Amino acid sequence: MNLEPCPFFIGGEWLQPNVAGTPVFNPSTGDTIAECPIGTVADVNAAVEAAHAAFPAWMETPPVERARILGKFKMLMDENFEDIVRSNTREHGKTLVESRGDVKRGIEVVEFALGVPSLMMGEVLENVARGIDCEAIRQPLGVCVGITPFNFPAMVPLWMYPIAIACGNTFVLKPSEKVPLTAIKIAKLLEKAGLPKGVLNIVHGGREVVDALLTHPKVKAISFVGSTPIARYIYEVGTKHGKRVQSNGGAKNYVIIMPDADVENSTRGVIEAAFGCAGERCMAGSTAVVVGAAEKLVLPTLVEATKRIKVGPTDREAQPDMGALISRQHANRVQELISIGEQQGAKVLADGRGVKVNEAPNGFYVGATILDHVQTGTTVAKEEIFGPVLNVMHMEDLGAAIELANKSMYGNGASIFTRSGKAAREFKHSAKAGMIGINIGVPASMAWFPFNGWDESFFGDLHMQGREGVQFFTQQKVTTSRWFSYGEGDIWHTEKK
Ligand code: NAD
């Protein structure tokens, strides 16, 4: 099979390096579709230098002109939408419907960034003292960096660089070495839209490349999305080297189902939250807490619906309900965790281990799984499984359910299914998470709002997307000014008289 090229993009040139690579798979079939080159410090230096050289002219480009290039980019994204979607599915394994969501959410960030002339506007106050005015303006930082995970090949890089470059920064992206191809495809559209050379650069690689980016003296800011241990590392090393850092980590999100919840809608919501994108989502609703009678009302329907989920290859027209996981190694780990959960006392109500997919026997599949009566403190209760596994826990009342959810070290999302406004309000007020869903299983913020993780799900001060994104990628300059009439206050002139 012909491998797809996986070049670096440095200073406006697409470079196919002659270095060792790591395989990029089509998870649906297990085939290798590309080799992702593992870059070195020299590649990082070249990319950062290119971004640094492009910065002065890009910073001076009027915001409205920068926005126009992004406008063309958005039109090209729309025109090439299905092509991007298929690339996304091919290297990630998610269904085409899920890929469409992934790409759409990314395009929405571009739409948000188009408003940059308004978004970057500053503040002015006349007469802070008599005859003295004060103004705060926003200026770009310089070279910014994005390091992204495998699970949203289109959307997560687009959380970062459209806002960064709209604000006048230049950018170096290091996509996940597991899914570098969609990021390349999208960057080619931005190049076609007329982005000047060096404003966006791409380097591939692993830890060596990341460390070189984190410590490079010409890098001003780092945006990271990935697992919590790496997110913490990025934050610590980046800030130690004087960078601005926003670093999103992993999660374990609770979905509370109250006894008065609408059975059909809450079942659909929980299924979508737990098994959408095969559970490989930082906003996956991976633990359902059934409150009181909800266990009798909702759980049987939930189990039945889970057993009906059809797993299969997503790289063809006939689409399954759920696709493959990112790698064989990860699929094995998820199955191992299911077994550990069972050994530690959970009851397997739906079992996705060893699922057979005859039309693609080498794909990385795990079927939808429900572990019931998961106990706090067990491995599956604590670890982010990042696969199609729903833990179920049982609580007597809402207070106990909130207390349970709030013990999590993470703080990305938390949802409730209920018909009671009172319960919903109590939950919204007390839940210890940055994105709350009320009768919504995956309350992921859209482009106009911050993607708002708390606790171990986020390290930093300013989140990605929305106005916080603009604040992150700009620094304020405050000017205080006073003007005199000619000769007024001229001591030398006065003394001479
Ligand atoms: P990961 O942490 O393994 O990798 C993320 C990035 O870090 C990749 O680009 C990778 O090359 C790099 N990396 C990996 N190990 C490194 C190391 N030792 N040193 C330096 N860099 C390293 O994450 P992943 O498996 O690609 O993605 C899944 C994780 O991302 C999950 O934990 C998920 O919850 C999280 N995630 C979080 C959000 C969010 O917004 N909170 C969104 C999407 C995914």
CA of 219 to the centre of ligand 1 (A): 20
Above pLDDT 90, what percent of the chain? 96
49 φ, ψ (degrees, to nearest 5): -60, -40
> Predicted confidence band at 2 (pLDDT cuts at 50, 70, 90)?
confident
How confident is the model over 357-379, as a mean pLDDT? 97
User: What token pair was written down for 228?
Assistant: 């919590």
Retrieve residue 348's tokens: 């397997």
- Amino acid type, 458: F
Say whether pLDDT at 458 is over 80.
yes
Closest ligand 1 atom, residue 226 Cα:
30
Average pLDDT of 417-444?
Answer: 98
The amino acid present at 378, given as its one-letter code, is T
State which of 178, 209, 210 you would mutate to test the pocket of ligand 1, scoring each by most atoms of that ligand within 8 A of its C-beta: 210
Q: How many angstroms is it from 294 CA to the middle of ligand 1?
A: 35
Confidence of residue 493 (pLDDT cuts 50, 70, 90): low
- Residue 282 is a catalytic residue: yes
For residue 489, the model assigns a pLDDT of: 66
pLDDT of residue 293: 96
DSSP 203-260: ---SHHHHHHHHH-TTEEEEEEES-HHHHHHHHHHHHHTT-EEEEE----EEEEE-TT
Average pLDDT over residues 341-357: 97
User: How much distance in Å is there from the Cα of 147 to the middle of ligand 1?
Assistant: 8
Would you state the pLDDT for residue 10? 98
Residue with the smallest CA separation from ligand 1 atom 22 is 207
Domain ranges within the chain, ordered by starting residue: 8-249+457-480, 254-438
Residue 347: per-residue pLDDT: 98
What backbone torsions phi and psi does residue 491 show, to the nearest 5 degrees?
-60, -45
Per-residue pLDDT band at 485 (split at 50, 70, 90): confident
Residues in Cβ contact with 40 at an 8 Å cutoff, skipping those fewer than 6 apart: 19, 205, 208, 209, 212
List, chain by chain if needed, residues with CB within 6 Å of any ligand 1 atom: 147-152, 156, 174, 176-177, 206-207, 210, 225-227, 230, 248-251, 282, 384, 386, 412, 451, 453, 457
Range name among 108-112, 145-149, 201-205, 485-489 with the lowest pLDDT average: 485-489
Among candidate residues 6, 36, 144, 282, the one labeled active-site is 282
pLDDT, residue 69, reads: 98
Over residues 219-241, the pLDDT tens digits come to 999 999 999 999 999 999 999 99
Q: Are 368 and 323 contacting, i.e. CB atoms less than 8 angstroms apart?
A: no
Phi, psi for residue 428 in degrees, rounded to 5: -60, -40
Q: Which CATH class is domain 254-438?
A: alpha beta
On the question of pLDDT at 154 being above 60, the answer is: yes
Task: Identify the three-state secondary structure at position 133.
Answer: strand
In the reported structure, the alpha carbon of residue 488 is separated from the centroid of ligand 1 by a whole-number distance in angstroms of 62
Distance 226 CA to ligand 1 centre (A): 2
Mutate to test the pocket of ligand 1, among 98, 145, 151, 389 (most ligand atoms within 8 A of CB): 151
| Index of the ligand 1 atom closest to the CA of residue 458 | 41
Q: What is the spatial distance between Cα 278 and Cα 322, in angstroms, rounded to a whole number?
A: 6
Mean pLDDT of the chain: 96
For 364-396, give the DSSP string.
-----EEEESPPTTSHHHHS---SSEEEEEEES
**Local confidence band at 164 (pLDDT 50, 70, 90 cut-offs):** very high
Same fold yes or no, 8-249+457-480 and 254-438: no
Give the Cα separation of 324 and 422 in Å (integer): 40
Q: What tokens appear for 96 in the block? A: 């085409």
Q: So what's the pLDDT on residue 91?
A: 98
pLDDT, one tens digit per residue, over 388-414 is: 999 999 999 999 999 999 999 999 999
Superfamily holding 8-249+457-480:
Aldehyde Dehydrogenase; Chain A, domain 1 (3.40.605.10)
